[in-house]
Homo-oligomer: A and B are copies of this chain.
Amino acid sequence: MNQIASATAIANPNIAFIKYWGDKDPMLRIPANGSLSMNLSNLQSRTTVSYDSTLERDELILDRKVPDDLAVERVTRFLDHVRHLAGISYYARVESENNFPTGSGIASSASAFAALSLAASKAAGLQLDERSLSRLARRGSGSACRSVPAGFVEWQSGEDDDSSYAFSLAAPEHWQLYDCIAIVSQEHKKTGSREGHALAETSLLQNARVGDTTRRLDLCRQAILNRDFQAFAEIVELDSNLMHAVMMTSQPRLFYWQPATLAVMRAVVDWRRNGIPVCFTIDAGPNVHVITLADHSSRVIADLIQIPGVSKVLVSGPGKAVRLSVE
Q: Which residues of A contact B (CB under 8 A)?
A: 204-205, 207-209, 212, 237-238, 241-242, 244-246, 248-249, 251, 253, 255, 257-263, 265-266, 269, 309
Q: Which residue of B lies closest to A307 (CB)?
A: B259
Interface of A: prevailing SS: helix
From known contacts A212-B204, A259-B263, infer whether A238 and B249 are also in contact, taking CB-CB under 8 Å.
yes
Given contacts A244-B248, A259-B263, A262-B262, 6 further A-B contacts (CB under 8 A): A204-B208, A208-B208, A245-B246, A255-B266, A257-B262, A259-B259
Give chain B nearest CB distance to A99 CB in angstroms.
30
CB contacts (< 8 Å) of A265 on chain B: these are: 255
Q: Which residue of B lies closest to A248 (CB)?
A: B241
Copy count, this protein chain? 2
Give chain B nearest CB distance to A188 CB in angstroms.
17
CB contacts (< 8 Å) of A266 on chain B: these are: 255, 258-259
A246 to B209 alpha-carbon distance, docked (Å): 12
A107 to B309 alpha-carbon distance, docked (Å): 32
CB contacts (< 8 Å) of A238 on chain B: these are: 249, 251, 253
CB contacts (< 8 Å) of A257 on chain B: these are: 262
Which of A245, A261, A263 has the largest number of chain B CB atoms within 10 A? A245
Q: Which 3 A-B pairs have the closest CB atoms?
A: A245-B245, A259-B259, A259-B263
